[in-house]
Structure 1
């Protein structure tokens, strides 16, 4: 089992435990803040399960149907996850408004506080673990999962603070404000997931700093007279690079091939965590204007 798959199994299991704990207490206590955290954990569980299947499919090798592999499934999963988080945030906001209107009172505050302390410890541990996996694998899905659970850490702290304040002051409006605040924060945090996922689906180029390093490697090779149509994109942990290199028309194919291999190897060393897919087109003269018209 790959580290990515293992991470989704761990996060799904943790989410299931947290869901059971919070849902029972949230319903019993009537606290909007605890219920908000419980609903978020339910979504965490389903999203992590979905991520497992997304990663399983994205890791499948390229075939006759998917010539470039299925790496974009991770970006699609990120968009879906962000959408689900947004919907959950809107639901929790509705719950907070409803409690403010009804004026209902929270129960079992002592037990709720203990449950939220346990939840906070478990969630912090999970975030540390997921961040480690995300750094090692550069997986968009695991990054999204880590970000999601990171928002849970803040929401758990907020819920715990709310319960303590309601216990000592008796003001139920605190629970309403905290629950509503968490809902708004959840909606805000989902934007980045949707934004990044959509940009990958639209074949956004890699960051400009990495592109500059690739250009420097090409310029440093004395066999290359010029280059054009440099294109980059990402899908899961794969980074695609395409470029046209211009050589002297009298150079042998062997020499041009060796120069291309040298450039390709140097690019791959820029980040060994990435799975580089590099396609170099060798030109005997600068046909940029012709190619530019065709593209």
Structure 2
């Protein structure tokens, strides 16, 4: 998988360099500040792809004494760097557009420049779509972020062509700066989205998709002996995940039985969740006066209270640091 990630990020890096040259040549022959915005974003593409390659290489390194959870979080850092570069490019574009408003320049060879931008936009769109798909397939935020960035670049390129076309048909060259500023705001917004996701990952913000996946897996493989699961947390480390949870088991289980049930929970999550998954399970004994009402153990010899309800496991109640005896669920 890591070899495949490196392959796609290298493809992205090489293509970004080629398109960078094409776009700057287009700006050179036309003098359009709007086309310059596209060219400047291509610099970001090249830098981001280079850093993404390093982050994928580093995230693939095994855990060590200094990094017990591995190196996967570098992918969040990579996405954040890419987002910051996109924002800086957008700010620079606004600066260039203001200068062009004060000192307007007549544009040249716009039709040929539009063809070059259109071809590069099409290439970015196809590559971006592939990278986004591969990012989801390999659970790589770096690939997914790079792909979405390229698709954003492709969209802005095609919108840019429409804007330059209007300039060419009307002869209002001042519109070049106006369109540039509009595009730059769109670029800055997309940079902010990437930075937001990066900070969320570095701060271990809850990932709803990963949590829902874990809940679904546990519900599909639920056993009667698993009386309760609570205080569950799913942390993302690049393409890897770390799951912590508390498992309530019958208090009369011997240590070997507890060990087997804990391993069963670990195996269920590790085998059915995407990516590399590490699971830590803390075992709790059941409390008859609180757990008997929803305990699903059949023919329990020590049951003190009749079974009256079944707790429906979901992301909300499984993440709470308390047993589910307080839950009001559908009666059996």
Offset, 1:43: 1.2
Cα deviations across residues 173-203 of structure 1 (Å, max 9, x unaligned)? 2222221111000000111111111111111
Aligned twin of 2:216? 213
Question: Hey, what does 1:115 align to over in structure 2?
Answer: 116
Higher helix share: 1
> TM (normalized to structure 1)?
0.90
Deviations 1:30-78 (A, max 9, x none): 1011111111111100110010001100110101111110111000111
One of 238, 250, 253 as aligned partner of 1:251: 253
CA RMSD of aligned residues (A): 2.0
Higher RCO structure, 1 or 2 (CA under 8 Å, sep 6+): 1
Give the match's secondary structure for 1:223. Answer: coil
Q: Which runs of 5+ in 1 are unaligned?
A: 287-291
For residues 206 and 258 of structure 1, the distance between their equivalents in structure 2, rounded to whole angstroms, comes to: 29
Partner of 2:105: 104
Kindly state the Cα deviation for residue 229 of structure 1 after the two structures are TM-superposed. 2.5
Within 5 Å, give how 1:23-38 maps onto structure 2: 23-38=24-39
What aligned pairs does 1:70-109 form with structure 2 within 5 A after superposition? 70-109=71-110
Contact (CA 8 Å) 2:133, 2:144: kept in 1 or not? no
Unaligned stretches of 5+ in structure 2? 288-320, 323-332
Q: Distance in 2 between matches of 1:33 and 1:278?
A: 51
Mapping of 1:184-223 within 5 angstroms? 184-207=185-208, 208-210=211-213, 212-213=215-216, 216=219, 220-223=222-225
- Secondary structure of 2:236's counterpart equals strand
User: Structure 1 stretch 61-70 or stretch 203-212: which is displaced more?
Assistant: 203-212
Q: TM-score, normalised by structure 2?
A: 0.81
Q: Secondary structure at the match of 2:230?
A: strand
C-alpha deviations, 1:144-189, integer Å up to 9, x for none? 1011111111111022112222222111122222211110000001
Structure 1 stretches of 4+ moved >6 Å? none
Displacement of 1:116 in angstroms is 1.2
Deviation at 1:24, TM superposition (A): 2.1
1:215 deviates by: 5.9
SS in 1 for 2:68: coil
1:2 partner SS: helix
Q: Which residue of 1 aligns with 2:132?
A: 131
Distance 1:122 1:31 in 2: 21
* Counterpart-to-counterpart distance in 2, 1:166 and 1:79: 35
> How much does 1:214 deviate?
5.5
Distance 1:40 1:174 in 2: 20
Partner of 2:230: 228
